Amino acid sequence: MSVKTHNKVKKKMHDLKFIRENPSTFDDAMARRGLGSQSADILRMDESRRAIQTELQALQQERNETSKQIGVIKSQGGDAQEIMDAVSKIKGRMGELEEEERTIASALNQHLAGLPNIMFDDVPNGADEGENVELHKWGTPKQDQVPEHFEIGEALGLMDFDTAAKMSGARFVILKGALARLERALAQFFLDTHTGDHDYTEVNPPLLVRDNALFGTSQLPKFAEDLFPAGDAHYLIPTSEVPLTNMVAEQIVDMEELPYRYTAFTPCFRSEAGSAGRDTRGMIRQHQFYKVEMVSITKPEDSEAEHERMRECAETILKELDLPFKTVTLCSGDTGFGAKKTYDLEVWLPGQQRYREISSCSNCGDFQARRMNARTRPKGEKQTQFVHTLNGSGVAVGRALIAVLENYYDPTDGGVYVPEVLKPYMGGLEKITKV
């Protein structure tokens, strides 16, 4: 399906000045992403663009000056026909140059838009998730094998994949009764914690966004196939990172107002186009799932500290739920397109006897801010700077539900205890049992 485009090609993306001045640094950074040298191509395009621009500007200057003369002559009642013809002649060449400039600028911008963020030096090198580096572990993983979450849920009669498949196909689920409520309880608990204890402001954002918003957070143009188009103007959000971060798009915010901290509980929609065959059973990987998201907008110098803080906000949730987890720093090969550095929180799933991702916290630096032109200005200063943006799950609700089912499972009767912190949200219910 084709979706209308609202992109302006004025976006800044990577800083050309930086690439011009540090071509090898830039190439090294792209090499860590598994890409070949980029700077030579970029600089060649940039140079030729500037050459065209210089020539064009000389002609524009000539046109402007001559046109002003015409104005003067005419206002004095003179005849300006001769110079008017002369200006007309310049226009042919100007048109050509304008066309060339447009072509090369758009090629350059498209190229830049497809290049990932430059990672921090302390991001470990590695090919894939196997080389992520453990930061720390918390809690004691249950070594006893328990059923997987979908076995538990189905046995309880509260989790139904077959009926969901009839109406929606694969990768959907129906939760009922206490499990439906458990999902709502988790979300509520997450939101209350982030708004009450972590200084986040609750936001209820649009779930449908246009392509320019997705360009800003860098899902587009490269990852269109992961998205669900909705109608001819919108996409369903793959994460509320998109609307929350775009709240500062095209804005100049006073520096003393920062940081902004936003949290939202929303459904997320992902086509999972590249995941055929992976996690096909159960709720791990769905086309639609709930997530509580945290987004921070900070001054440039504060983003690294904010990143640690955000990671701790997410970890707090798992600690409060008493779910064992480990935190890893993603290696270069596993770090997302827009991130300078990412921490993943992996929760212990006794049904799988392994840790699975339940939160991902990324510092994007100014990468997204450049793409959405989100700036800040220190009080009294003229010069604006790009803000830094961070996003993190706090945490994925569906996966948290899975973790609760498997970690709080009672093998004696197939029931599931309600975690202490969730009881108030479950009407005091102690244990979920078969209906």
Partner RNA sequence: GGACAGAUGGCAGAGUGGUUGAAUGCACCGGUCUUGAAAACCGGCAAGGGUGCAAGCCCUUCCAGGGUUCGAAUCCCUGUCUGUCCGCCA
- Shortest Cβ distance from residue 252 to RNA (Å)? 5
Q: Considering the complex, state which of residue 31 and residue 233 has its C-beta at the smaller distance from RNA.
A: 233
- Shortest Cβ distance from residue 80 to RNA (Å)? 7
- For 17, half-sphere exposure in the C-beta direction (CA atoms, 13 angstrom radius) is 1
Q: Considering the complex, state which of residue 212 and residue 359 has its C-beta at the smaller distance from RNA.
A: 212
Query: Can you give the binding site for RNA, defined by CB under 7 A?
Result: 4, 6, 8, 10, 17, 50, 53-54, 56-58, 60-61, 63-68, 70-71, 74-75, 84, 87-88, 91, 102, 233, 252, 379-380, 382-384
- Shortest Cβ distance from residue 375 to RNA (Å)? 8
d(CA 140, CA 234): 44
| Terminal-to-terminal C-alpha distance of the chain | 43
Which tokens is 293 given?
Answer: 């998201």
Q: What is the DSSP letter of 419?
A: P
Strands (E), 156-287: 159-160, 174-175, 201-202, 208-209, 229-230, 234-236, 252-254, 260-269
Q: Considering the complex, state which of residue 136 and residue 382 has its C-beta at the smaller distance from RNA.
A: 382
- Tell the residue number behind the tokens 């918390």, with chain if given: 138
- Shortest Cβ distance from residue 229 to RNA (Å)? 15
Q: Considering the complex, state which of residue 79 and residue 225 has its C-beta at the smaller distance from RNA.
A: 79
Q: Considering the complex, state which of residue 74 and residue 434 has its C-beta at the smaller distance from RNA.
A: 74
DSSP string for 201-213: EE----SEE-HHH
CA-based nearest residue to 104, from 35, 196, 17, 41: 41
Give yes or no for a contact between 421 and 319, defined as CB atoms under 8 angstroms apart: no
Instruction: Report how far apart, in Å, the C-alpha atoms of 404 and of each of 112, 223, 233, 237, 417 are.
Output: 43, 32, 38, 26, 8
d(CA 279, CA 148): 12
Q: Considering the complex, state which of residue 10 and residue 136 has its C-beta at the smaller distance from RNA.
A: 10
- Shortest Cβ distance from residue 216 to RNA (Å)? 15
Q: Decide: helix, strand or coil at residue 140.
A: coil
Which amino acid is located at 300 in the chain? P
- Shortest Cβ distance from residue 84 to RNA (Å)? 4
- Shortest Cβ distance from residue 187 to RNA (Å)? 21
- Shortest Cβ distance from residue 102 to RNA (Å)? 6
Q: Considering the complex, state which of residue 65 and residue 128 has its C-beta at the smaller distance from RNA.
A: 65
- Shortest Cβ distance from residue 26 to RNA (Å)? 16
Give yes or no for a contact between 300 and 406, defined as CB atoms under 8 angstroms apart: no
Q: Considering the complex, state which of residue 143 and residue 383 has its C-beta at the smaller distance from RNA.
A: 383
CA-based nearest residue to 292, from 219, 406, 400: 400
| Residue 330 neighbours by CB distance under 10 Å | 25
- Tell the residue number behind the tokens 């109608």, with chain if given: 231
- Shortest Cβ distance from residue 50 to RNA (Å)? 4
Q: Considering the complex, state which of residue 59 and residue 165 has its C-beta at the smaller distance from RNA.
A: 59
- Shortest Cβ distance from residue 376 to RNA (Å)? 11
Q: Considering the complex, state which of residue 37 and residue 109 has its C-beta at the smaller distance from RNA.
A: 109
d(CA 153, CA 155): 5
Q: Considering the complex, state which of residue 384 and residue 433 has its C-beta at the smaller distance from RNA.
A: 384
Instruction: Report how far apart, in Å, the C-alpha atoms of 65 and of each of 89, 266, 358 are.
Output: 15, 57, 63
Sheet with 354-363, side-by-side order of all strands? 133-138, 325-329, 341-349, 354-363, 388-396, 288-298, 260-269, 201-202
